[in-house]
Every structure is written in C-alpha cells, then in structure tokens.
C-alpha cells in the first residue's frame, strides 16, 4: 500500500515536471513582474510606516509621547523601576496573553514552554502528518478547520494582548475627578479621599471601576457596588478584613495607615452607585 | 645539442637576494639618522657595504665568466619513464565492484587522517568559542556588600522602597529595587524584612499596592551601592505585578495569579550601624509576619521555577549565582 | 554599403558590451546559473499570492541593509545605547528613516512570513516532494522571531528592557535546562553590562548568518522542485490527466486547455 502511494506521488511529480516544461512560462519576466510589483508595495509600506511613525509623534523630537504608531522610544531602561508596565512587541502579544490565561502556578510552564513547543513541533511535523496528495481546499476539511481555528485563536490572543490593561496607581489617580463627576460624589470630600486611596492602593489591579482596571483575576466590578445600600461601615470592615466575610482571596487592607483611611474607602464604595 | 623549441627563457640575470639586504642597510642608515647616528648609522653602512659588494659581484658575474647553458624544462619523449608492465601497474588492478568505490589502504589512511585532523581543528577552534560564549556566564560572581545607609533611615514599622546599585562601577544597569521594612528589635537584634521586587512568575517589577510618599524621598550616597534612594510607602494590599497580574501579600506570599512561589528576599547584616544587603535567596512561603516570620528558604532560583511541591523536580539544578 | 558598415560597428559595440559578461561566464559559469534561474519554467497559472515569498525576501534585504547602517551609529553598551538611539533618530541625517524602516521592516518581515506560510498551507505546497522546504521555512520563521526578540532589547528603553527580562525568564521555565539557558542568554546571573552586547552580536551576526544560509537552501529547493499551481486551477501542473479520470470531477485538466498557452 505504502509503496503504491509513493509511486503515485512520484508519478504526480513527474507529471508536474512535464506539464511545467510543456506549458509553463519562464519565470522572467512573467512571474518576476508580479514579484517586483509586490516588492515595491512592501518597500513602500515599510517607508510609509517609518514616515508615519516619525511625523505623528507630538511635541519636540526628544519626546517619548506616542504618535499613531507608538512612541519613538520610551524612557531609558531602569532596572530598578517600580511603576512601569512591561509589554512585548505586537507579534509576541499572543504569547503574552497566553501567559495571562495560565494564572495558576501549576500551569505556568504550559504557557511559557508547553504550548509554544507543541505548536513548533506540529508545524515542523506537518508534512509528515498530512500525507495525502490532495491539495484542493474543499477536500481537506481537517486542514481547513485547523487553519481557521489557528488564525482565529492567534487573532483573539493578539487582540486581547494588545488591549490588556494594567492600572498604574499614578494613572488611575488622574481618573479620580472623572469618577467623582460621573458617580456624583464630587461634593463628598471623604469619598474623594477614599477614591484616591482606592486608586493608589492597587485595588484596580484586580477590580475594575468605570472601565479602569484589570478583570484578569476575576474580581468583581466595583462601579455600582454601593447600590445595595450596605453603608460605609460595612465596606470599611470588609476591606480591613475580607476573611470575616468568607473572602479568602482578597488581600487584607486593615493596615492602611489610619482608621480614617479605611473609613474613607468605605464611604467611597458606599456612594458608588453606578454612573449617572 | 638540440635547438630550444619554444623555450623563451628570458636573458636576464638570475634572481638575487642581495638587493634585499642592501635595502635593509639603507633603511638602517635612515632609521639611524633619526634614532642614534653614532651607533646605528655605522651598522647600516656596514650592511650596505657588505651587501652592495655581494650584489655587485653577483650582477657582474656574466661578464667575468661565461654563463653555462641551462637545461631547458621541456619534456622529451626519450626521457620518459619506461611503461609499467601490465602485471604490476594499474592495469593489473582488479576491476572495482560495480556500485562500490574501491578503496586502497592509502586512501583509507588519508580519509581517516583528514577526518581526524578536521576534528582536531574543530576542537582547537571550538574550545575557545565555548569558553566566553557558554562557560563564562556560569562563573561565580563576586557579591559586594551593599551598604544601604544608617539604620536611622529605616524607622521601625515603616516600609521603604530602596533602589540601589549592586555594582556602582558598572552603572545604572545594575540598579535593583527592594522593599524593606524595619520590624523593630527581635531578641535584642534589629530585624528587617527585605523583599526583592522581581516577580516570581517571570521577573517583572512588582509594585506596592498602596500609597507611595514620593514627597518624602531621600537619596543617600554610600560606598558599596552608589546612590541609594529611599521612598516611604504603605503596601497595605501587598504587592502586585503589572505583567501577568500576580498578587502578593506584604510578606511576599502569593495570594493570586500565576507566581510559582513567594517573592525572593535578601540576606542582611548590620555593620557599623548600617544596613548591609547580602545574597538573594528564594522563598516558597512565609508563615507568620515581621520579626516572627518563619521563612521557608531555598537557594536563589530563576523566576518561574518552583522550589517546592511536585513541580520542583522539573528544576533540580540552578546555575551558580 | 553604409548600412552594413553601421551594423558592423554595431556588432563590434555589442561584442564590447558583451565582453565582460562572457569573461565572467568563461571563468565562473555564473551567468549560466543566473540565466537558468531567470528563464526556468514556472506553471502558467501562478497567482499573486505566490509573490509573498519574494516579498519576504525583499523585506529581509531591507532589514539587512538598514541594519548595517544602524550599526555604524549604534553603541551596544548599557550606558550609551539609549543615547545612541536618540542620536540616530534626531541628529543623523535621515537616521530616523533608516531606524523607522528597520523597526517597521521587522514587523512587515514577520507578517509576510506568516502570510507566506498561510499561502503554502492553503496550496498544500508542503506535500511531497517539498516537505524539506516546509521544514526549512519553519526554521526561518523561528529564527525570524528570534531576530525580533534579540533586536527588541537594543534601543535599551523601558519596553525593550522589561520585554527582554520576561522573554529570558520564559526560556528559564523550560524543564531541567531552562535556568541554564536563561543564564546563558543573560551572559550571567543577572541582566548586566554583558547582556546587551551579547544580544547585539546574536542579533546582527549569528542569527543573520544562519538566516542567510537557510534562505539560500530555501531558494535552491524552490528552484529545484518548482512552484506549485494553485490547487483550484483548471490547468494545474501535475493534475491527473483527463484521459484516465480517477474520480472524474470538475476542476481537472480539460483536453482543450492543453497547449493553449503561447510560449
């Protein structure tokens, strides 16, 4: 059987060579013309991207502000930084997001080494997994499904990686006046102070508030947490010791400087009744 | 004597090495004029004279004696070796088996020695390549004592962000950050919690979950650690990683997300009233808090490597640090 | 009479122009090779999608040229790398363009590699006898991504540094040898003064050398094995003859189509 398949493959390649010899066209200039046009497009796109990159950067030329295609450079590398959010280049976003998906210590190795290695192995072994001669798309259903799934999952992972946000304390604090306006607690100094502390204390590393923050760890959205009218005292005691309320995941914030600080956060959460 | 057919031997004097020596003499005189005219110039003149004489003697040889006829390098039929008899030469060799190239002992020897010599060359070239490329990164590095300044900079119970250089001579590339809390006295000794900011997941810089008092920043220049920056802070919610969302409590224990162990810690000692950092070590978890904390300590491991539990057998060895 | 004189002069001129080519051909045989490469037959139904491979090669050449120019101004030292990037971007005349082309050419190169790979997959062009070329292509893709990874560190800004920290530590989680691999990449226990120069050397000497060799092999195999026809083509080279229909369906070679292409 195997030898018959081999014979058929050889015969097909023989036919291919004869067909090309008989009916083919010379590479130059027919095919090469198309190649040249395509290469011109490629070079133009590269130059175009470089120009757009440079000329959409606002401010003077030493600025690290992003233009349409991102900044010319970010700040100089600081190995001792405590407020930087690292991101890879876009073509590693899929891997970056894969690492966020595997958020259990036992599964870290799957995201870092396991899945990329398996993908590489499958790619290398592809010609030996698919031994049929059939090349027409509609007769290769498995290949089609695999291709669509691969493209979809890579696309989704890249998109999720590109839009994954972390909430840096300094940036979240700037959003506090907007929060106060939209939630309508601008006139309540305790709530505003609590919101500031909420923003600084890394609460948005797990929670989201009016779209700011990270939902990766599955903590609830706090935009409208005060709707149930539990009152500031409830939230204060919850934040200072979530264990009392059966929450074993959330960090204990009891040591937030002073009792006043805890109370301010409680007030802030109790007046958060959703955007008005 | 036959006529020399097509033998276009040029009628020039044969090559001679004497002019080279003559040139050396000239060079010697010229150099001597600059360096030391009294010693070097006479030597150069002597060389000049000797080689000049020899050259002149050589060049005038043709006039002093007849040139003997040189044997031209042409091949003549009469001079060829006699044909090899059929029973010893190539013709006597057996026909090689079809499909197999006949090997002679000599060609086998050449083959093996070529391969062997090639291997020797490969070895000679490869070993020096492997040295700096592969072996050098694994040499033990010297750890300086990192002086972070006087104890008075670390009030009891106060968390500090300390950034310092592990090797000030190399510059900013060695800057590192640690989160330090003075736990107060324990058994008459000052006790510190010193946590590395390197995430135990993949090494990103973890950030304190709580207010940082940038306005109370203090910079202290020390001998061992360059400019040490100290910023008070209040990591009430512990520490969080901005990359993949790992969360830690203030003792460095993992509370959520992918980190495989607790945050690494620094050894420390008190020398002359100063806080001095030692080596870094890895921690699986910490029981208790502050000075009473019981630290499950392991040798420094790469981020993402388990130090305990069943996964630890995936990482049996760590390179020397 | 004047006409023949003119043509004689013309002949002499042509001979003079052709002389260097003939000189080169006589001594190297290279012209014959180039001629074989250019005038080899390809199937008459090749498709625009089949220009992606040569487009990738163009992007690679852009990378090689712009990279060589950047190397004239770049300083692979942690204390001066960032300043040299600023110098290239702001002071060197058109330096921003060369740097921009290298930075975005990298993305274009990677995208084109993926597109080219998708084309080969859709055409089934990895099947017998082109398996080896697919494997070489996968290696080229892996090396291209490695180029992206090692090049990302060189600007020595915050994104560069921390992406590299994570990248190295990802390698460090490989079982057993991972920590050693990470230390090998870092050139020491920590990212230090040697790491940048190490990445620079890998980025601009080691991997490009391997890439150029593999691209040569890739092209050699393309020339040797030929280009596939699109699988849906009615006159696909190598399709089953209609005279002995095996599954007798549409899409196979029609008798009328034979010899229909002017040569």
Structure-block tokens of residue C171: 């390698």
**pTM to 2 decimal places:** 0.80
Contact B243, B202 (CB under 8 A): yes
C262 pLDDT above the threshold of 60: no
Asked whether residue B299 is domain-assigned, the answer is yes
CB-nearest partner of A112 from B238, B243, B304: B304
What one-character-per-residue DSSP string does B51-66 give? HHHHHHHHHTHHHHSP
> Which of A34-48, B184-198, B294-308 is predicted most confidently?
A34-48
Checking if the pLDDT of C50 tops 70, the result is yes
Contacts of C261 in chain A (CB under 8 A): 23, 25
Q: What is the pLDDT of residues C152-207, one digit of tens each?
A: 999 999 999 999 999 999 999 999 999 999 999 998 888 888 899 999 999 999 99
In chain B, residues with a C-beta closer than 8 Å to the C-beta of A220 are none
Spell out which residues of chain A touch residue B177, defining contact as CB-CB under 8 Å: 80-82
Mean residue pLDDT across chain B:
81
| Domain co-membership, A128 together with A192 | no
* pLDDT number for residue C254: 44
Rounded CA-CA distance C183/C185 in Å is 5
Q: Is the pLDDT score of C248 beyond 60?
A: no
Q: Which of A140, A164, A188 is the last residue of a domain?
A: A164
How confident is the model at residue B320, as a pLDDT?
81
User: Is the peptide bond between A29 and the residue preceding it cis, with omega within 30 degrees of 0?
Assistant: yes
Residue C252 is predicted with a pLDDT of 43
Neighbours of C147 (CB within 10 A): 23
Query: What is the percent of chain C where pLDDT is above 90?
Result: 72
What pLDDT sits at residue C257? Answer: 41
Q: Are residues A143 and A196 in the same domain?
A: no
CA distance linking residue C248 with residue C253, whole number of Å:
10
The first and second tokens of residue B265, run together, are: 């810690």
Distance CA C173, CA C176 (A): 9
The residues facing B297 across adjacent strands are B283
- The verdict on a CB contact (< 8 Å) between C166 and B172 is no
pLDDT of res. B12: 56
- Span A34-53, average pLDDT: 95
Mean pLDDT of C59-63: 97
Q: What pLDDT, in 10s, does the model give residues B272-288? A: 888 888 889 999 999 88
Residue B85 within a domain: no
**Cβ neighbourhood burial of B84 (10 Å; 0-12, 13-18, 19+):** exposed
**SS3 of chain C:** CHHHHHHHHHHHHHHHHHHHHHHHHHHHCHHHHHHHHHHCEECCCCCHHHHHHHHHHHHHHHHHHHHHHHCCCCCCCCCCHHHHHHHHHHCCCCHHHHHHHHHHHHHHHHHHHHHHHHHHHHCCCCCCCCHHHHHHHHHHHHHHHHHHHHHHHCCCEHHHHHHHHHHHHHHHCCCCCHHHHHHHHHCCCCCCHHHHHHHHHHHHHHHHHHHHHHHHHHHHHHHHHCCCCCCCCCCCCCCCCCCCCCCCCCCCCCHHHCCCCCC
Contacts of B303 in chain C (CB under 8 A): 169, 172-173
- Fold (CATH) for C49-230: Cytochrome Bc1 Complex; Chain C (1.20.810)
Do A183 and A266 belong to one domain? yes
Position B293 in a domain = yes
Q: Is A94 found in the same domain as A45?
A: no
CA pair distance A124, A105, nearest whole angstrom: 29
Q: Shortest CB distance from C184 goes to which of B134, B243, B314?
A: B134
The predicted-structure confidence for B78-120, as pLDDT tens digits, reads as follows 555 566 666 665 556 666 555 555 556 778 888 899 999 999 9
User: Taking residues A168-175, what's their average pLDDT?
Assistant: 71
Q: Give residue A51's pLDDT.
A: 94
**Residues of the domain holding B193:** 146-314
Domain presence at residue A266: yes
Domain count, chain B: 2
Say yes or no to pLDDT of C101 above 50: yes
Which strands make up the sheet holding B207-208, listed edge to edge?
B207-208, B239-240, B247-248, B254-256
| Residue B127 pLDDT | 84
User: According to the model, what pLDDT value does residue C1 have?
Assistant: 47
* Contact check, Cβ <8 Å, B247/A217: yes
Instruction: Please indicate whether, in this complex, the C-beta atoms of C90 and A62 are within 8 angstroms of each other.
Output: yes
Q: Which of residues 252-311 of B touch C (CB under 8 A)?
A: 301-305
Closest CA–CA distance from residue C79 to any residue of chain B (Å): 7
Cβ neighbours, 10 Å, residue B189: 9
What does the pLDDT read at residue C243?
Answer: 53
Question: Across all residues in chain A, what is the average pLDDT?
Answer: 85
Asked if residue A150 and residue A118 are part of one domain, the reply reads: yes
B20-41 residues labelled b (16+ CB within 10 A) or e (exposed) = ebbeebeebbeebeeeeeeebb
Domain ranges of chain C: 1-31, 49-230
List the single range of B87-101, C38-52, C126-140 with lowest mean pLDDT.
B87-101
Which position has the token pair 């510059």?
Answer: B171
Helix ranges (H only) for chain A are 2-23, 32-55, 93-101, 108-109, 115-129, 141-163, 169-174, 176-183, 189-200, 232-240, 259-271
Residue that is last in its domain, among A27, A52, A74: A74
Same domain, A158 and A181: no
Express as a percent the part of chain A with pLDDT over 90.
20
When CB atoms are compared, the residue of C172, C191, C193 closest to B303 is C172
Q: Which residue of C has its CA nearest to A150?
A: C118
In Å, what is the CA distance from C201 to each residue of A156, C76, C88, C206, C207? 34, 9, 19, 7, 9
Q: Is C258's pLDDT higher than 50?
A: no
* CATH number of the domain bearing residue A220: 1.10.760.10
**Which of A93-97, A162-166, B9-13 has the largest mean confidence?**
A93-97
Which residues of C fall within a CB distance of 8 Å from B305? 172-173, 178-179
Domain boundary residue, one of A55, A74, A93: A74
Q: How confident is the model at residue B6 (pLDDT cuts 50, 70, 90)?
A: very low
Structural domain includes residue B86 = no
pLDDT at res. B77: 56
CATH label of the domain that carries residue A132: 1.10.287
Report residue A64's pLDDT band, with 50, 70 and 90 as the boundaries: confident
Claim to verify: residue B42 and residue B178 sit in the same structural domain: no
Residues of C with CB under 8 A from a CB of B: 78-79, 162, 165-166, 168-170, 172-173, 175-176, 178-180, 182-184, 186-194, 196
pLDDT of res. B83 = 62
In this prediction, does ipTM exceed 0.90? Answer: no
Evaluate whether residue B129 is within a structural domain: no
Q: Which of A77, A80, A81, A216 to mutate to test the interface with B (most CBs of B within 10 A)?
A: A80
Instruction: Using an 8 Å CB-CB cutoff, list chain A residues near B247.
Output: 205-206, 217, 251
User: A151 with A203, same domain?
Assistant: no
The residue in chain A having the minimum alpha-carbon distance to the alpha carbon of residue B235 is A201
Q: Which domain holds residue A266?
A: 169-271
**Among B77-91, B103-117, B161-175, C9-23, which stretch is predicted with the lowest mean pLDDT?**
B77-91
Cβ atoms of residues B232 and B213 within 8 Å: yes
pLDDT of residue B52: 87
């Amino acid at each position: 059987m195997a030898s018959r398949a081999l014979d058929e493959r050889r015969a097909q390649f023989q036919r291919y060579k004869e067909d090309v010899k008989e009916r083919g066209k010379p590479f130059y200039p027919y095919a090469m013309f198309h190649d040249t046009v395509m290469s011109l497009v490629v070079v133009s796109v590269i130059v175009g991207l470089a120009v757009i990159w440079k000329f959409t950067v606002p401010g003077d030329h030493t600025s690290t502000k992003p233009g349409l295609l991102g900044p010319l450079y970010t700040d100089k590398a600081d190995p001792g930084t405590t407020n930087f959010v690292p991101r890879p280049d876009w073509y590693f976003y899929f891997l970056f997001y894969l690492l966020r998906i595997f958020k259990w210590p036992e599964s870290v190795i799957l995201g870092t080494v396991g899945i990329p290695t398996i993908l590489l192995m499958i790619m290398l072994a592809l010609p030996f997994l698919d031994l049929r001669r059939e090349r027409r798309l509609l007769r290769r259903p498995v290949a089609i499904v695999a291709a669509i799934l691969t493209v979809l999952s890579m696309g989704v992972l890249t998109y999720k990686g590109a839009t994954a946000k972390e909430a840096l304390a300094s940036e979240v604090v700037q959003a506090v006046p907007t929060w106060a306006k939209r939630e309508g607690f601008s006139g309540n100094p305790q709530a505003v102070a609590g919101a500031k502390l909420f923003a600084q204390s890394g609460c948005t590393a797990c929670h989201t508030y009016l779209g700011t923050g990270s939902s990766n760890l599955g903590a609830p959205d706090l935009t409208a947490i005060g709707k149930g009218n539990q009152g500031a005292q409830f939230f204060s005691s919850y934040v200072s010791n979530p264990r009392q309320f059966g929450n074993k995941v959330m960090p204990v914030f009891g040591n937030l400087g002073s009792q006043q600080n805890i109370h301010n956060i409680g007030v802030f959460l109790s007046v958060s009744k959703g955007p008005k | 004597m036959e006529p020399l057919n097509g033998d276009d031997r040029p009628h020039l004097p044969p090559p001679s090495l004497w002019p080279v020596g003559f040139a050396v003499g000239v060079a010697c005189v010229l150099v001597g004029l600059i360096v030391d005219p009294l010693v070097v110039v006479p030597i150069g003149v002597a060389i000049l004279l000797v080689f000049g004489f020899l050259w002149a003697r050589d060049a005038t040889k043709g006039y002093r004696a007849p040139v003997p006829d040189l044997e031209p390098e042409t091949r003549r039929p009469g001079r060829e070796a006699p044909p090899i008899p059929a029973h010893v030469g190539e013709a006597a060799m057996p026909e090689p088996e079809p499909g197999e190239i006949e090997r002679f002992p000599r060609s086998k020897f050449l083959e093996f020695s070529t391969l062997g010599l090639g291997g020797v060359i490969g070895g000679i070239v490869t070993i020096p390549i492997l040295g700096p490329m592969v072996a050098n990164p694994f040499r033990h590095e010297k750890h300086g004592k990192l002086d972070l300044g006087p104890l008075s900079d670390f009030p009891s119970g106060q968390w500090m962000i300390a950034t310092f250089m592990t090797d000030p001579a190399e510059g900013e590339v060695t800057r590192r950050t640690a989160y330090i809390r003075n736990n107060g006295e324990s058994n008459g000794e000052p006790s510190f919690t010193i946590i590395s900011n390197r995430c135990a997941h993949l090494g990103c810089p973890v950030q304190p979950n709580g207010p940082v008092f940038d306005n109370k920043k203090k910079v202290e220049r020390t001998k061992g650690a360059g400019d040490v920056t100290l910023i008070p802070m209040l990591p009430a919610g512990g520490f969080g990683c901005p990359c993949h969302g790992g969360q830690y409590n203030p003792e460095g224990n993992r509370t959520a997300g992918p980190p495989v162990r607790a945050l690494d810690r620094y050894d420390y000692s008190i020398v002359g009233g100063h806080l001095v950092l030692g080596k870094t070590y890895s921690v699986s978890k910490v029981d208790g808090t502050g000075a009473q904390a019981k630290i499950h300590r392991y040798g420094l491991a790469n981020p993402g490597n388990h130090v305990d539990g069943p996964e630890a057998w995936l990482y049996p060895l760590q390179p020397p640090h | 009479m004047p006409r023949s004189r003119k043509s004689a002069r013309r002949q002499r001129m042509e001979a003079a122009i052709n002389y260097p080519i003939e000189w080169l051909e006589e001594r190297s045989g290279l012209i014959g090779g180039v001629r074989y490469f250019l005038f080899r037959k390809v199937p008459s139904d090749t498709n625009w999608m089949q220009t992606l491979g040569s487009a990738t090669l163009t992007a690679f050449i852009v990378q090689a040229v712009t990279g060589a120019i950047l190397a004239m101004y770049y300083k692979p030292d942690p204390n001066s790398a960032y300043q040299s990037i600023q110098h290239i971007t702001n002071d060197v005349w058109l330096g921003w363009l060369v740097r921009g082309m290298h930075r975005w050419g990298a993305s274009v190169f990677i995208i084109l590699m993926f597109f080219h790979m998708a084309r080969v997959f859709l055409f089934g062009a990895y099947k017998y006898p082109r398996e080896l070329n697919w494997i070489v292509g996968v290696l080229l893709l892996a090396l291209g991504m490695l180029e992206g990874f090692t090049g990302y560190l060189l600007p020595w800004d915050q994104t560069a540094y921390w992406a590299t920290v994570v990248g190295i530590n990802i390698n460090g989680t490989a079982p057993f040898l991972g920590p050693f691999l990470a230390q090998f990449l870092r050139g020491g226990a920590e990212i230090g003064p040697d790491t940048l120069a190490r990445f620079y050397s890998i980025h601009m000497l080691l991997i490009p050398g391997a890439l150029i060799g593999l691209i040569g092999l890739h092209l050699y195999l393309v020339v040797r094995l030929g280009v596939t026809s699109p699988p849906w083509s009615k006159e696909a080279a190598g399709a089953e003859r209609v005279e002995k229909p095996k599954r007798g369906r549409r899409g196979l070679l029609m008798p009328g189509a034979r010899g229909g292409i002017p040569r």
